[in-house]
Amino acid sequence: MMTPPGAGGALGGPPPAGRTLDDSQPQGQAAAAEPEAPAPAPPPVDLLDPRNYINRELSLLAFNARVLEQAKDPRTPLLERLRFLCISSSNLDEFFEIRFSGLKQQIALGLAKPELDGLSPAATLEAVSQEAHRLVAEQYRVLQDVLLPALEAAGIRVVRRQAWTPAQQEWVHAYFSREVLPVLTPVGLDPAHPFPRVLNKSLNFIVSLEGSDAYERTSGTAVVQVPRLLPRLIQMPPRVASGPHDFVLLSSVIHAHVGELFPGMRISGCYQFRLTRNSDLWVDEEEVDDLLRALKGELPGRNYGDAVRLEMPVQCSPYMAQFLLAQFKLPPQELYKVDGPVNLHRLSALYDLVNRPDLKYPPFAPTPRPALDIFEQVRRGDVLLHHPYQAFTPVVELLRQAAEDPNVLAIKMTVYRMGAQSPMAEALIGAARAGKEVTAVVELRARFDEATNIDLATRLQEAGAKVAYGIVGFKAHAKLLLVVRREGAALRRYVHLGTGNYHTGTARAYTDFSLMTCEERTGEDVHRLFQQMTGLGRVVQLSKLLQSPFTLHARVLELIEQEAAEARAGRQARIVAKLNSLSEPGVIQALYRASQAGVQVDLIVRGVCCLRPGVPGLSERIRVRGIVGRFLEHSRIYYFYARGQELTYLASADWMQRNFFKRVEIAFPIVDPVVRQQVLEDGLWTCLQDNVQAWDLLPDGTYRRSAPTDAAPPHCAQELLMERLAT
């Protein structure tokens, strides 16, 4: 096994200063001189000092800034750079819909209690607003100054209105008349036509007019709402295009011909705008009788929540900007003036419309597994899969074969995100229709997947499956699949446990681990978990799995403290964890104490990290890094040296308050030495060596991109794993 970096030739971190692993005096060495009086101990560090924590919301924005950096990186293929720009934009949309709107709600409700970092909701909102404005300005600078010129140099153009040739103008007008005009409904504002309801994140135009219409109305202002069914990016045909990849924006098409919507009137101003609304759903689960019905009723309202952000072009008139801010009851700082289309994410359509493999990542095919009986494979020994480098197909096969196998009596599964067109969903429905005992714990509150999960739950019920919606007050986030199969005179349980979702699409884009096993105690634990989620009863003790909200948090704290005790005793100690987010105060403080005791702590955190590493006297033995690359780093791995036992867990849970206390989560141990080595080598050690796509968190809360040196040649973890594991 490769030794992790910084381990001094062993997995454990270095012993406390002034000690070796053997305190005995070497033979033949002269007695040391009388020791000097020890230096006075430094004052103890206050673990609750707000300066020792990073604001959660600012940390999340910093992650989006790192995603945006991928769009600037010339080493990344050009169309992939555009895709990263669009991802950073859609991430920011979700930030406003959920996190920003949550801060505004806290302020409105008078919840002024500061977080660990000391910032009140109002102060956080102000800091976040400043950083979000900076991030948006940088997104559009990258678009206009970097990506659009580079795309044009590569023969891909988004042609501005001012650059249309006469032939292009004629074609655009014909397109507008044929495809756009028939579905537009302008609304002139007057007492009989109040300001229309504006859909969340939809494209709209505010138009100022001069003159009077056929009914002598002179209001002077109209709104044009653009239906979502219209494509936002339109390819010009070869007969008018200057090259094979010329496009126009729908906003440009409408802007050029908006006068046709108001015959006889003069257009004095036309500005696109987009409104972002609070999109968090809230249902009082203790008061409703049917969670599915309640959520289904709430979904349409998501598009019309409270306004939180207004986007308009930089050239918009101050009057129109103020008019819209007043209409949506927004303060001036929630206006974002942009130099380009108001929805950058729509440009992602270019990626699929342009067939230029030379401007995309090279094709990648995950390693397939032999087409054997999946039950036979698992009986031979635990099967570990590392997605997307290894195919998700065996997991799909486990469910498909279980659905068709006459010896399978029961299938139980948690569903958090599965996708609308899912082969796993079809297999589960097929099993129910075949008369098998099918139980599905469907998490209806998986954000932005509510409609898909409601539809799946309904279809499963119609097929005869037993459907539960998790537990009131706790999201069912654990990834569990249990198959009960008759083999001879006995029943055997086959189990799949994962760090990711049962979504075949994300399995090709997210890094995750899957474990398939028929180990008896694991199967019993999973059986007890399903009983707990669907029935009633007290907490049952699990043999191998750790579970939120009952045992996971306490056990993580216990394992951290055990490493600290080992370090204080002068023995090897080490903690390594790979997470999406780290924000739970108890765990952060435990890691601080471990660092003070001498434990070497390495954290690979993709997104939010509220821990401040490298602070003298507090966290100088803690290193935090995140990796942003071709695939979304999504797996959760916990490693503790544990006196050489190398306790290693895979988990569905990040180290966040919601994961520890408000969700049903699991962490499962990896016991088989060969399987454990694969998890450590591919999941941790290679990531700690990355100096191409890794970002190191500095004590001041900023990130610095790692870079190769003469002593450390380029090492890209994702590329290495593709070479090692994939075909």
The tens digit of pLDDT for each residue in 172-200 reads 999 999 999 999 999 988 766 789 999 99
- What pLDDT is attached to residue 66? 97
Reported confidence tier of residue 282, pLDDT bands at 50, 70, 90: low
Token pair of 90, please? 């859609």
Residue 22: band (very low, low, confident or very high) from pLDDT cuts 50, 70, 90:
very low
Q: Using alpha carbons only, how large is the chain's radius of gyration in Å? A: 29
Which residues, in sequence order, are CB contacts of 536 under 8 Å at separation 6+?
none
User: Would you say 537 and 493 are in contact if contact means Cβ atoms under 8 Å apart?
Assistant: no
Taking residues 322-342, report their average pLDDT: 96
Rounded CA separation 93/345 (Å): 9
Does residue 265 carry a pLDDT above 90? Answer: no
- Percent of residues, the chain, with pLDDT higher than 90: 74
Q: pTM for the full model?
A: 0.89
Check if the beta carbon of residue 509 is closer than 8 Å to that of residue 388.
yes
Residue 19 has pLDDT above 80, yes or no: no
Q: Identify the three-state secondary structure at position 158.
A: strand
Mean pLDDT of the chain: 89
The pLDDT of residue 259 is 93
Residue 9 has pLDDT above 50, yes or no: no
Residue 561, pLDDT score? 98
Tokens of 40: 């006075």
CA angle 229, 234, 236 (to 5 degrees): 150
Residue 69 has pLDDT above 90, yes or no: yes
Share of the chain above pLDDT 70, in %: 88
Buried b (16+ CB within 10 A) or exposed e, 652-675: bbbbbebbbeebbbbbbbbebeeb
3-state secondary structure 650-693: EECCCECHHHHHCEEEEEEECCCHHHHHHHHHHHHHHHHCCCCC
Residue 294's pLDDT band (cuts 50, 70, 90)? low
pLDDT value of position 301: 64
pLDDT band at 1 (very low <50, low <70, confident <90, very high): very low
**200-251 tens-digit pLDDT:** 999 999 999 887 766 555 568 999 999 999 999 999 999 999 999 999 999 9
pLDDT in tens, 333-344: 999 999 999 999
Q: How confident is the model at residue 295 (pLDDT cuts 50, 70, 90)?
A: low
The angle that helices 552-568 and 585-597 make with each other, rounded to 10 degrees, is 10
pLDDT at residue 15, rounded to an integer? 32
Number of residues assigned to the chain:
727
Q: Mean per-residue pLDDT for 636-658?
A: 97
pLDDT band at 115 (very low <50, low <70, confident <90, very high): confident
Structural domains in the chain, CATH included, are 56-359 (3.30.1840.10), 374-539 (3.30.870.10), 548-725 (3.30.870.10)
Q: Which of 11-15, 503-507, 545-549 has the lowest mean pLDDT?
A: 11-15
Nearest to 445 by CA among 287, 662, 609: 662
Q: Which two tokens stand for residue 656?
A: 């966040």
Positions marked active-site = 477
| CA–CA distance, 625 with 698 (Å, rounded to integer) | 9
CA torsion, ordered 527, 529, 535, 537, to nearest 10 deg: 110
pLDDT at 367 over 90: no
pLDDT of 16 reads 33
Q: How confident is the model at residue 298 (pLDDT cuts 50, 70, 90)?
A: low
CB 14 within 8 A of CB 600: yes
- Give the pLDDT band (50/70/90) at residue 297: low
* pLDDT attached to residue 2: 41
How many C-alpha atoms does 87 have within 13 Å on its Cβ side? Answer: 21
Contact 139, 68 (CB under 8 A): yes
Phi, psi of 386 (to 5 degrees): -115, 105
Q: What is the mean pLDDT of residues 279-290?
A: 53
Say yes or no to pLDDT of 31 above 60.
no
If you average pLDDT over residues 142-162, what whole number do you get?
97
Output the pLDDT for position 698.
Answer: 97
